[in-house]
Structure 1
Amino acid sequence: MYSLNQVSSLLYNYLVEIGLDDVYAKYLNTLILLLLLIIVLYIFDYVLRKIFISVFAKFTSISKTNFDDFLVKNKVPRNVAHIVPIIIAYNAIPFVFNGFIKAQGIILKGLEVFGIVLTLWVVRSLLNTLKDFFKTLPNLKDKPIDSYIQVFMIFLWSIGILLAISILTDIELWKFLTGLGTASAVILLIFKDTILGFVASIQVSINDMVRIGDWISFDNYGADGDVIEINLATVKVQNFDNTITTIPTYALISDSFKNWRGMTNSPGRRIKRALIIKQESINFLAPKDIQKFKKISLITDYIKSRQESITDFNTSNNIDKSILINGRNLTNIGLFRKYADTYLKNHSAINKDMMVMVRQLAPTPQGIPLEVYAFSSDKRWENYEYIMSDIFDHLLAAIPFFDLELFELPSSSSFKNNTKTSLKA
């Protein structure tokens, strides 16, 4: 039986015997052995990849969980298959480069570094598999899994780089780390955003500030849409015009933003909008006006009840009603406010279990704001806008029936009409 060293020298001995120069024979022997090793490694790698992938494919076809599907998707079998050829190469190099001690050392160091990189690839594939699997779990799919995976990968890559440098420089790892401590300020400066992002990711997760799928509005960054990704450095928001806004993760804890999750989880979406009534159109109601408004079915019973109460009060207190301002009276804005309130409470799209109110705000230079405050049962944006528009379509059209006017800034046509009127006069 031949030893491996003797086997590696067979070709060399043959070349010397046929008269080839000793140096050339040595180099040619090494070159041929290296080519044979590359061919063997390629065959091993190819066969192992096929075996691993086919075995995993059969396993995933009968497995009930989708975890193994993610293993195949993230190329875990393919990356694991590369490990065996690396081990073979590492053990074969001393025999291939027999007599070339310096070359052996360089190539072995290169294989050790490549082994570290390959190990990191395998770990990254496994972590990506875990990430994809966790995102399918109901309790974890809205959590910033990407941030944690990235932090762990940065930690592993840092260790891998330190190990690689230690191997290439022949400096022991602990001595290298000791020298690295003096450069910690520079390292902190380089990884500032990463550190800030990591801290922000933890705070965002612990305080449950943002989840994937939340609708957020971030004015400082022009973001208004759904969160589609949270990772270590950035948060991606898909705006409603389908553009993507990227926000630094640490901005979520350093700046102010609005999260609409509370509205989404609530039983209704708020409608809060005001109609501005011209002050000069507001009047007390004479008896003949009250009779006209009684024909409006939504407030007929209210007018009757209020009119009886007001009449009893004025009669018992001997109020002189020859002037409308005396005593208690109905006003057109009061009746319209009651009409709008009753209309909202009878509207099928308004959540009656939440606040429903029509209120008068403080007077402004433009007029009297009459604000509608209610909640739509349907929170979907398109339907919400339709419901709100339907309500205000009706109220805007109803205002003239109460002898009220909306405030509106004059347009150029208003000035033209006034000019024509004055010329005719």
Structure 2
Amino acid sequence: IVAFALILGVAYLANVICHHILLKLIVKLAQKTKATWDDIVFDPKVMVHLARIAAPILIYILIPIIFSDVPRTLCLIQRICQIAIVVSFICFVNALFIAIYQVYTSKEEYRNRPLKGLLQTLQVILFLVGGILVISILIGKSPLILFTGLGASAAIMMLIFKDSIMGFVSGIQLSANNMLQVGDWIAMPKYNADGIVIEVTLNTVKVKNWDNSITTIPPYAFISDSFQNWRGMQESGGRRVKRSINIDMRSVKFCTPEMIAKYRKIHILKDYIEKTEEVIDEYNERNNIDNSVLVNGRRQTNLGVFRAYLTDFIKNYPDVNHNLMYMIRHLHPTEKGLPVELYFFTNTTNWILYESVQADIFDHVLAIISEFDLNVFQDPIGTDFRNLANNIDRIHKNTTQISSTKDTKSI
């Protein structure tokens, strides 16, 4: 017993020396070097697990001196030491993986890569190997026998770890093709996901939706199903606006000389009006057009001038990204009127600023439409029906009064 206590004391002393002397010395030496790899390997959180191996190794070596004549006790203690060595080494490798993961995720070029899935895959393999080694020590068999048995039960293992295997393969595809990164704004209607990717792991992709709810999606769904990634929009430096205003087609007409004179006073339209009028007058004169009939020759319309105004307005608007496409176009006429679509990109991808720019532009557009003698098409509302009813009542009353007056005079 005294000898066994002495061995335990030596093992404890070795553990203290490794933790408080050797470990600190190695960490200080690693910090003085210019290389970065040694800072990862010799990190205190990593080396502490390696330092724990010293005690069970000493006990494993020295214990046969005492229990050489008691083979069962010797075998039991040695197996416990072997298990402690394996567990400590597995913890050391796991801590090393975590340290490497933390270093690479701190770098800008790797920050948005789905490295956590790769880390979890390596941890699963590591713990699986560690578990097999521990079991082989307990049963006193070679680990190769257990590995051979795993080969025979591969179908069962694949069934058990199906999601992990599919997640690992999907993670590699997502990373290799740069399809998904942490921080991407994605939309996946099938899973009611519309928000920012906050985590990519071996089995799940977490998406924080705009309503602050969290949606978890299996990684292989991003390979088998379609999803929309808005990263391209964010990297382009502009977000698209594609919105139309319905014009009442009954308000579209040819421009009169008075209207042309009015439009010439609009600063951004002055050059357009003069150039267009020159082209039209030259065409009409060359073809001997009879201007007394409006359908003859070429004429400007209030809608055409309005489109020209919007084009120049968007061209000169400071919050529009002029490096990307912008245009004003007609869409197919419907029973709701003629849609005039504004298609452009803002120079910001920030959602709040984007909505503000879009609202400011359409506030202006709606306010100046009447200056071009155009009407916005709008379905009648309750006030319209009430005004119509009041007008009908007033007409009916006037008609009744006139009838009464005529009857009185006739009498």
| Range into which the TM-score falls when normalised by the shorter chain | 0.7 to 0.9
**Who is 1:313 aligned against?**
283
- Alignment equivalent of 1:48, drawn from 18, 22, 36: 18
**Who is 1:287 aligned against?**
257
Secondary structure (helix, strand or coil) at the match of 1:139 reads coil
Secondary structure (helix, strand or coil) at the match of 1:75 reads helix
Secondary structure (helix, strand or coil) at the match of 1:401 reads helix
Larger CA deviation: 317-326 vs 365-374: 317-326
1:216 correspondence with 2:186: yes
The Cα offsets for residues 310-334 of structure 1, whole Å up to 9 and x where unpaired, read as 2333344343433433332211111
Q: Would you say the 8 A contact 2:94–2:126 is kept in 1?
A: no
Shift of 1:236: 2.8
Shift of 1:59: 4.5
CA spacing shift, 1:291–1:132, aligned 2, 3 Å? same
Larger CA deviation: 132-141 vs 95-104: 95-104
- Return the TM-score normalized by structure 1: 0.83
Distance in 1 between residues matched to 2:168 and 2:210, nearest whole Å: 28
Q: Would you say the 8 A contact 1:74–1:128 is kept in 2?
A: no
1:101 correspondence with 2:71: yes
Larger CA deviation: 394-403 vs 92-101: 92-101
Distance in 1 between residues matched to 2:213 and 2:34, nearest whole Å: 38
**Who is 1:85 aligned against?**
55
Q: Which runs of 5+ in 2 are unaligned?
A: 396-411
- Alignment-mate amino acid for residue 204 of structure 1: L
CA spacing shift, 1:311–1:185, aligned 2, 3 Å? same
**Who is 2:299 aligned against?**
329
Shift of 1:338: 0.6
Give the alignment of 1:13-412 within 5 angstroms. Answer: 29=1, 41-55=11-25, 58-59=28-29, 62=32, 75-94=45-64, 100-412=70-382
- Alignment-mate amino acid for residue 176 of structure 1: L
CA spacing shift, 1:405–1:39, aligned 2, 3 Å? farther
Distance in 1 between residues matched to 2:45 and 2:87, nearest whole Å: 15
Distance in 2 between residues matched to 1:279 and 1:74, nearest whole Å: 77
**Who is 1:19 aligned against?**
none
Secondary structure (helix, strand or coil) at the match of 2:59 reads helix
- Alignment-mate amino acid for residue 205 of structure 1: S
Distance in 2 between residues matched to 1:245 and 1:53, nearest whole Å: 44
- Alignment-mate amino acid for residue 363 of structure 2: D
- Return the TM-score normalized by structure 2: 0.85
Q: Which runs of 5+ in 1 are unaligned?
A: 1-28
Secondary structure (helix, strand or coil) at the match of 2:186 reads strand
Larger CA deviation: 346-355 vs 316-325: 316-325
Distance in 2 between residues matched to 1:143 and 1:259, nearest whole Å: 15
Distance in 2 between residues matched to 1:105 and 1:415, nearest whole Å: 98
Shift of 1:44: 3.9
Secondary structure (helix, strand or coil) at the match of 2:153 reads helix
Shift of 1:242: 4.8
Q: Would you say the 8 A contact 1:93–1:104 is kept in 2?
A: yes
Larger CA deviation: 251-260 vs 130-139: 130-139
Distance in 1 between residues matched to 2:38 and 2:102, nearest whole Å: 11
Distance in 2 between residues matched to 1:413 and 1:100, nearest whole Å: 103
RMSD value over aligned CA atoms?
Answer: 2.8
Distance in 2 between residues matched to 1:225 and 1:33, nearest whole Å: 66
Secondary structure (helix, strand or coil) at the match of 2:324 reads coil
Distance in 2 between residues matched to 1:366 and 1:69, nearest whole Å: 69
Shift of 1:209: 1.3
CA spacing shift, 1:72–1:178, aligned 2, 3 Å? closer
Distance in 1 between residues matched to 2:380 and 2:65, nearest whole Å: 96
- Alignment-mate amino acid for residue 155 of structure 2: A
- Alignment-mate amino acid for residue 334 of structure 2: T
Secondary structure (helix, strand or coil) at the match of 1:246 reads strand
Larger CA deviation: 201-210 vs 372-381: 372-381
CA spacing shift, 1:181–1:328, aligned 2, 3 Å? same
Q: What is the total number of aligned residue pairs between the two structures?
A: 395
Larger CA deviation: 176-185 vs 125-134: 176-185
CA spacing shift, 1:246–1:421, aligned 2, 3 Å? same
Distance in 1 between residues matched to 2:3 and 2:188, nearest whole Å: 64
Distance in 1 between residues matched to 2:277 and 2:15, nearest whole Å: 95
Shift of 1:125: 0.8
- Alignment-mate amino acid for residue 252 of structure 1: F
